[in-house]
Amino acid sequence: MYRNLFLILAILFSLLSSENLYAKKSKKNNKNRKEKKKKESTRIPFLYWYTWTKADNLGNVAKIFSVKPEQIKAWNKEQGFPFKPETKIIIYAPNKVYRTLKQKYIIPSKMEFDEIAKNIKTSVENIKKWNPKLKSPVKSGVTVIYYRKIGFDESRAEGTPSNGKLIGGVQLPERKGWYIRRTPEQEYGTESTIRLIIAAFSRYRNKVEKSPPILIGHISSKEGGYLSPHQSHQNGLDIDIGYVPNTNKPLEGFIEMNEKNMDIEKTWHLIFSFLKEGRVQYIFMKDSLQKLLYEHAIDKEKVSRTYLNKVFQYPNGNSEAIIKHTPGHGNHFHVRFLP
Ligand SMILES: [Zn+2]
């Protein structure tokens, strides 16, 4: 920090000084630069703890971290090889390690490239590169492919939602008026899950004039793993959310919903706010409630049928739908985010 400041001052000073002086300083700067370069090549490696899984072998793990298989063995001698699943091994990587995740965004309503880029946080050039056949504007219901790069040591979901763990879990913060956290100790997610939940609620609050705070159930526990009574909710990607009731009072507990006690319009906007983030893998919802939202979206919101048929399992039983019927989701819906 101070060295940089000194460099900047030196450059400024030299600019203000005579040519002779400038030449001297410039030489000195060159020397500094050379030293810096040398330092970079001998810098301290990045240290990572990696949890070995059944699917791993030395080759694939070595590749992730740009190291040699023998190095991994040498650094973890005391663990004994082959490593057992769940063993935490240490790795000294020469560079910061990233993972690239391939993802899909189903266009919710006709959009120009720049709006898509903004929504999925990438550039228009990238969208063109990853989807060479695509033309702007893109019609509702079209699937756009994109890639996301995340640091290996950032908070992350390990394993699967029904057999996994949460690393570096982040707790859902309190937001008065937006939602009510039923069990804050079971409301940890990956950093991206938590960010997406807040973004979706922010979208929702901008869209509807008035809404009771929404009841939030389980996400995951701090380090993930089994969370009673669920099968999933293990790796920080799942969240249970109450439907919007047609009163202005928040729900006190999850209650079975129907066309009489649910605010269909507001629930549609809440669901649509999540979908618009483009990072939802599934939403589990009872089919009779899917019907109410589907019909509302067509009749009142003028959303395209192409989009809705891709997103809802209702009415065609689309097996690739995001919104799926699974038992137990008549009193709350369940959002599963992409990792
Ligand atoms: Zn759930």
Looking at the domain assignment, is residue 284 inside a domain?
yes
Say what the pLDDT of residue 21 is: 40
Which tokens sit at 49? 């703890």
Distance 296 CA to ligand 1 centre (A): 24
Considering the domain architecture, whether residues 320 and 177 belong to the same structural domain is answered as yes
Distance 283 CA to ligand 1 centre (A): 9
Which residue type does 209 have?
E
Considering the domain architecture, whether residues 318 and 204 belong to the same structural domain is answered as yes
Distance 334 CA to ligand 1 centre (A): 5
Max mean pLDDT among 3-12, 53-62, 82-91, 241-250 falls in 241-250
DSSP string, 88-134: EEEEEESS--EEEEEEEEE-SS-B-HHHHHHHTTS-HHHHHHH-TT-
Looking at the domain assignment, is residue 25 inside a domain?
no
Distance 87 CA to ligand 1 centre (A): 29
Distance from C-alpha of 49 to C-alpha of 76, rounded to nearest angstrom: 11
Distance from C-alpha of 138 to C-alpha of 7, rounded to nearest angstrom: 49
Say what the pLDDT of residue 153 is: 76
pLDDT band for 35, please (50, 70, 90 cuts).
low
Q: What is the total count of domains within the chain?
A: 3
Looking at the domain assignment, is residue 23 inside a domain?
no
Say what the pLDDT of residue 150 is: 81
Q: What is the radius of gyration, based on Cα positions, of the chain?
A: 26
Distance 135 CA to ligand 1 centre (A): 38
The model's pLDDT over 259-272, given as tens digits with 9 standing for 90+, comes to 999 999 999 999 99
Distance 281 CA to ligand 1 centre (A): 14
Stretch 246-257: mean pLDDT: 94
Considering the domain architecture, whether residues 208 and 306 belong to the same structural domain is answered as yes
Q: What's the domain range around 66? A: 46-93
Q: Considering the chain, what is the average pLDDT of its residues?
A: 87
Distance 329 CA to ligand 1 centre (A): 8
Distance 162 CA to ligand 1 centre (A): 11
pLDDT at 17 exceeding the cut of 50: no
Distance 110 CA to ligand 1 centre (A): 31
Lowest mean pLDDT among 14-23, 29-38, 229-238, 304-313: 14-23
What contacts 332, CB < 8 A, 6 or more positions away? 215, 217, 240, 241, 242, 243, 254
Say what the pLDDT of residue 50 is: 86
Distance from C-alpha of 80 to C-alpha of 193, rounded to nearest angstrom: 36
Residue, of 38 and 77, whose pLDDT is higher: 77
Considering the domain architecture, whether residues 79 and 190 belong to the same structural domain is answered as no
Considering the domain architecture, whether residues 103 and 145 belong to the same structural domain is answered as yes
Distance 243 CA to ligand 1 centre (A): 13
Residues with CB under 5 A from ligand 1 (ion): 240, 334
Give how far Cα 211 sits from Cα of 88, 218, 265, 281, Å: 46, 21, 11, 26
Say what the pLDDT of residue 152 is: 80
Say what the pLDDT of residue 31 is: 54
CB environment 278-309: b (16+ within 10 A), e (fewer): bbbebbbbbbebbebbbebbeeeeebbeebbb
Query: In the structure, how many helices (H) and strands (E) does the chain have?
Result: 10, 14
Looking at the domain assignment, is residue 120 inside a domain?
yes
Residue whose token pair is 């669920």: 230
The model's pLDDT over 273-303, given as tens digits with 9 standing for 90+, comes to 999 988 999 999 999 999 999 999 999 999 9
Stretch 236-264: mean pLDDT: 96
The model's pLDDT over 298-313, given as tens digits with 9 standing for 90+, comes to 999 999 999 999 999 9
Distance 275 CA to ligand 1 centre (A): 17
Lowest mean pLDDT among 63-67, 89-93, 148-152, 312-316: 148-152
Considering the domain architecture, whether residues 210 and 170 belong to the same structural domain is answered as yes
User: Does the global pTM surpass 0.95?
Assistant: no
- % of the chain surpassing 90 pLDDT: 65
Considering the domain architecture, whether residues 134 and 195 belong to the same structural domain is answered as no
Distance 76 CA to ligand 1 centre (A): 38
